[in-house]
Amino acid sequence: MDADDARSEVPGDVPAGTIDWVERLHALVDEAAAPVERASAERLRCRAGCSDCCVDGLTVFTIEAAVIRRHHADLLATAAAHPPGACAFLDGDGRCRIYAHRPYVCRTQGLPLRWLEEDEIDEEIIESRDICPKNVDGGPPLEELEADACWTLGPFEQRLAQRQHETDGERGERVALRSLFASEGDRRRLPVIGS
């Protein structure tokens, strides 16, 4: 953690330097995901308003929640969460209200995904792949894609988890996205201008 990492003004007491670090990591994820997205352009149906992967009940590390709080304090204090059943940050048209500051998990959804796991019995490395059902057609089968045409799960998640553990003393705290919104009774009312 940076020595000059001053405490931020966001709830949860996440250091401002840590929030900056998460924003840089998100930029690196976007940069690394771009070639995967280009390679799958013909099959990807992801676009504004497509929100099948925007499920309810998602949790993020508190360091990612702090990014949302930094940039969307007014939204969290004055707006209502999307009704239960879908992500709290969707608007009425199924568009993300925090798209530029969305969490890591939201940045790679829809892409062809791959991950490696060790078989507990044989200790062999097994590769698995998956993709959103809407993105199955329009390209070669997942198993025929080169590894670099898939988003490999693991490396960025490990970096994010490590920074979270450094920040919260190894607790790995997570927070539900829906819980970031002020409750109805605590919501601020913005003044109406021009009436």
Cβ distance 105 to 58 under 8 Å? Answer: yes
Record the pTM: 0.85
Q: What is the pLDDT of residues 15-61, one digit of tens each?
A: 999 999 999 999 999 999 999 999 999 999 888 888 889 999 999 99
Confidence (pLDDT) at 97: 97
Residue 56 in tokens? 């309810």
Confidence (pLDDT) at 49: 82
Task: Taking residues 59-70, report their average pLDDT.
Answer: 97
Give the separation between CA 107 and CA 103, rounded to whole angstroms: 7
The residue to which tokens 């988890």 are assigned: 161
Most distant CA pair in the chain, distance: 72
Cβ distance 115 to 154 under 8 Å? Answer: yes
Task: Indicate the average pLDDT of the chain.
Answer: 89
The residue to which tokens 């929030």 are assigned: 19
